[in-house]
């Protein structure tokens, strides 16, 4: 997923200020539009599980403990479907209908700027039993912006969701899984847990077919998995019925990310026996 870099103008200061750092703002490269519309252009840029796991391992070796989830409890038969980058109008409604027919509850990490324009879809996501997570307001690459703007990206989306559904989410997913220890500190200071993933079929890649998405997910799925998919992508929608059926045939049950955490007794870090899992790229 291509993650846009921010414009040169600064956002308003965060309601919970943190120490600023200098950042070089890199212009966004040209990219094709997201299949679902909206402001999120597409290009492969998501981090592989092995990269996330190595970063997690380095942090733990340095004694850094953080509110971060890469996987659930592998001893329990639960997995979580997650969808990033929405909402995308009618395409999001199509996804909700598919999930309704499949009797699956999922977690949607929404972009605040898009959610602000489509309150009816956010409300429907919640009314149908799904969970909402914060995917920042503009889908910027967080390491490329000053820390006070990271906080503002989270807080603007928080405020949008508070107005729309009367509640706030405790889950955040940084675009592309890109974060560092300073960003993680901002995430926690603003009351969030950082939610990453175990399985990424790169469903947004140009030319990716439903069969490829299905096979990439099924190649590595195990209990405790968090599956990264995207709202607004027709190939993903076409793949979902078979993905759900095959995962259920393995005896696994779909839950939201919060339920995955709760059933595991708290925030679960990636375990060493999962480090070999990679994305589909």
pLDDT for the residue numbered 235: 98
* This prediction's pTM: 0.78
pLDDT at site 168: 84
Whether the pLDDT of residue 245 is over 90: the answer is: yes
More confident call, 273 vs 203: 203
Q: In which element (H, E) is residue 110 found?
A: strand 107-110
Tens-place pLDDT, residues 123-146: 999 999 999 999 999 999 999 999
Token match 């200061």: residue? 13
Q: What is the mean pLDDT of residues 96-114?
A: 98
- Report pLDDT digits (tens) over 49-65: 555 555 555 555 555 45
The answer to whether 230 is a known catalytic residue is: yes
Q: Is the pLDDT of residue 272 over 80?
A: no
As a whole number of Å, the CA-based R_g of the chain is 17
Q: Average pLDDT of the chain? A: 79
Q: Pick 79 or 43 by higher pLDDT.
A: 79
Q: Confirm if 3 and 175 have CB atoms less than 8 A apart.
A: yes
For residue 252, the Cα-to-chain-centroid distance in whole angstroms is 21
Identify the residue with better confidence: 186 or 57. Answer: 186
Parse the chain into domains and list their residue ranges: 49-269
| Catalytic, out of 34, 56, 84, 231 | 84
Residues 34-49: tens digit of each pLDDT: 444 444 433 435 555 5
pLDDT of 55: 56
Mean local confidence (pLDDT), 157-161:
96
**Cα–Cα distance between 111 and 264 in angstroms, integer?**
28
Report the pLDDT value the prediction gives residue 264, as an integer from 0 to 100: 78
At residue 124, the pLDDT reads: 96
167 vs 254: which has the higher pLDDT: 254
- In the predicted model, is pLDDT for residue 220 greater than 90? no
Q: Give the active site residue among 85, 139, 230, 231.
A: 230
159 classed as catalytic: no
Multiple choice CATH, 49-269, 3.20.20.370, 2.40.110.10, 3.40.50.720, 3.40.50.1820: 3.20.20.370
**Highest-pLDDT range among 169-178, 180-189, 244-253:** 244-253
What is the C-alpha separation between 50 and 73, in angstroms, rounded?
18
**Which of 16-20, 146-150, 250-254 shows the lowest per-residue confidence on average (mean pLDDT)?**
16-20
Separation CA 107–CA 53 (nearest Å): 22
Residue 10 has a pLDDT of 30
Which of these ranges, 33-37, 159-163, 215-219, 227-231, has the smallest mean pLDDT? 33-37
CA distance 16 to 101: 42
């Amino acid at each position: 997923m291509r993650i846009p870099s921010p414009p040169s103008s600064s956002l308003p200061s965060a309601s919970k200020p943190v120490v600023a750092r200098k950042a070089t703002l890199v212009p966004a490269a040209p990219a094709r539009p997201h299949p679902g519309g909206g402001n999120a252009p597409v290009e492969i840029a998501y981090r592989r599980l092995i990269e996330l796991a190595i970063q997690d391992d380095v942090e733990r070796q340095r004694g850094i403990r953080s509110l971060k989830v890469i996987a659930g409890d592998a001893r329990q038969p639960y997995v979580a479907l997650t969808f990033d980058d929405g909402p995308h109008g009618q395409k999001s409604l199509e996804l909700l209908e598919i999930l309704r027919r499949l009797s699956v509850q999922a977690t949607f990490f929404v972009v605040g700027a898009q959610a602000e324009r489509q309150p009816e879809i956010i409300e429907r996501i919640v009314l149908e039993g799904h969970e909402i997570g914060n995917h920042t307001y503009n889908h910027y690459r967080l390491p490329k912006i000053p820390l006070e703007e990271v906080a503002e990206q989270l807080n603007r989306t928080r405020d949008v969701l508070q107005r729309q559904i009367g509640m706030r989410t405790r889950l955040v997913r940084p675009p592309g899984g890109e974060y560092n220890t300073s960003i993680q500190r901002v995430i926690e200071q603003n009351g969030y847990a950082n939610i990453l993933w175990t399985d990424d079929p790169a469903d947004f890649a140009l030319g990716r077919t439903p069969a490829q998405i299905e096979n990439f997910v099924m190649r590595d799925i195990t209990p405790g998995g968090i599956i990264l998919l995207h709202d607004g992508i027709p190939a993903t929608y076409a793949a979902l019925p078979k993905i759900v059926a095959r995962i259920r045939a393995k005896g696994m049950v779909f839950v939201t990310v919060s339920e995955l955490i709760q059933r595991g007794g708290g925030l679960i870090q990636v375990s060493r026996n999962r480090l070999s899992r990679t994305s589909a790229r």
